[in-house]
A = this chain, B = another copy of it.
Amino acid sequence: MLVLGVDPGLTRCGLGVVDGGPGQQTSLVEVGVLRTPAADDVAARLWALERGVGEWLDRHHPDAVAVERVFSQANVRTVMGTAQAGAVAIVSAARRGLPVALYTPSEVKASVSGSGRADKTQVTFMVSRLLGLSDPPRPADAADALALALCHLSRGPALARMRAARQAAAAAGRSLR
């Protein structure tokens, strides 16, 4: 199963594709960062991101896309750029009929390192370990995109089963929650 992880941002948007599945060594397929110039207007930047994400989707044909869920942060300005870039990635995947999963930063950290409060060094270390890399992934700021993809590989199947169970229960007129 191929998963594209997206760490959204207007200035830097991290992208990472990993391959894995039950009983299979998880491997790195491609990692990179899309950048858009801060001097450009928002429309030009979002459109450049859309084309960049589209190229990755069409090159790799992932089975699913995992995007960081934007969460309440101190800096509203940053949140907005992240939310806008994330929306472009989400809609690019949805338009191609691909399932999209959203994970908060702490869900991702907990999934790859066991702690929702792991720092960047810890996350990068664990991403390298889980992917069997001898050196940390380059560029460094794309490690989060790989962590998102790894998080989906480990959590996605369970979440999909839960969703299917909830839908079946709802269809049967009962509720699991």
CB within 8 Å of B: which residues of A? 41-44, 46-47, 50, 70, 72-73, 76-77, 79-80, 83-88, 90-91, 93-95, 99-100, 102
A83-B87 in contact given A43-B100, A76-B72, A76-B76 (Cβ < 8 Å): yes
Min CB distance A72 to B, Å, is 4
Chain B contacts for A91, CB-based, 8 A: 43, 46-47, 50, 88, 91
Give bound CA distance, A66 to B70, whole Å.
25
Among candidates B47, B80, B83, residue contacting A94 with C-beta atoms closer than 8 Å: B47
The 10 A-B residue pairs with the shortest CB-CB distance, nearest first, are A84-B87, A47-B94, A83-B83, A43-B100, A87-B87, A43-B94, A72-B76, A46-B91, A80-B83, A43-B90
Min CB distance A131 to B, Å, is 26
The closest CB in chain B to the CB of A81 belongs to B83
The closest CB in chain B to the CB of A49 belongs to B91
